[in-house]
Amino acid sequence: MANKECRVCGKVKGIEEFSVRDKGGGADGRENRCRKCYAGYMREWRKKNEMGREKVGVEVKSKQRGCRKCGVRKLLSEFPNGTGLSATGKVLFCKECNARSAKEWRRNNPEKREKHTREGFLKGQYDMTVEEYNEMLEAQGDGCAICGGVNSDGRSLAVDHCHETGLIRGILCTRCNMGLGYVGDDVKILRRMIGYLSRGDMTFSE
């Protein structure tokens, strides 16, 4: 195993004790300081620059800049945060222009908006892709897994899952999905409901 001498402490250590560096460093692509010395250096640097960072933060809040879209000069606090865009850490358009542009994009791109919203919801809630949803719905005959129907208001059918295991059971219309929710997915109650309805019409005499 290769060894290397630390530029700071002067100790010869295994190469794995030196962090990999994309640019700079030694010819071997490693830091010239061992990990321990580098960590100490960073602690000291943070201490020395703490006051400087606080001062910069105060100055940044009081500065102004012009919005690249509306051209109005505003405080930096009126611009959304962003990384790698400018020295101030703010995006080029003010919050008001960003909000207006986003609203306009949603209005002009309803299909893309629906697709992105649907994709995010299915992935976040059920770890499911739009393609998987469509395949499951097609396998059900493009309708509710219970009644075979669709939502009368045109909304997409709901993904039904077991609240205990998290496993997806099928895709249901709003009415059937809410029906299961009302009885708490209790099979015994559902059976009693079927029995109740199977008795036919009943009249009570005085």
Residues of the chain with CATH 3.30.60: 1-59
| Sequence letter at residue 120 | G
Average pLDDT over residues 107-125: 76
Structure pTM? 0.43
Q: Extract long-range pairs of 82-89: CB within 8 Å, 24+ residues apart.
A: 88/60, 88/63, 89/60
Q: How many other CB atoms are there within 10 angstroms of residue 38's CB atom?
A: 16
Determine the CATH number of domain 1-59. 3.30.60
* Range in 97-101, 134-138, 153-157, 177-181 the model is least confident about: 153-157
Q: What is the pLDDT of residues 157-190, one digit of tens each?
A: 989 988 788 888 999 998 899 998 888 888 999 9
Residues of the chain with CATH 3.40.1800.10: 110-198
**Residue 202: pLDDT band by 50, 70, 90 thresholds?**
low
The CATH number of 110-198, from 3.40.1800.10, 3.40.50.12280, 3.40.1280.10, 3.65.10.10, is 3.40.1800.10
Secondary structure (H, E, C), the chain: CCEEECCCCCCEEEHHHCCECCCCCCCCCECCCCHHHHHHHHHHHHHHHHHHHHHHHHHHHHCEEECCCCCCEEEHHHCCECCCCCCCCECCCCHHHHHHHHHHHHHHCHHHHHHHHHHHHHHHHHCCCHHHHHHHHHHCCCCCCCCCCCCCCCCCCEEEECCCCCCEEEEECHHHHHHHHHCCCCHHHHHHHHHHHHCCCCCCCC
- pLDDT exceeding 90 applies to what percent of the chain? 9
Q: What is the pLDDT of residues 33-60, one digit of tens each?
A: 888 888 888 778 767 665 445 444 444 4
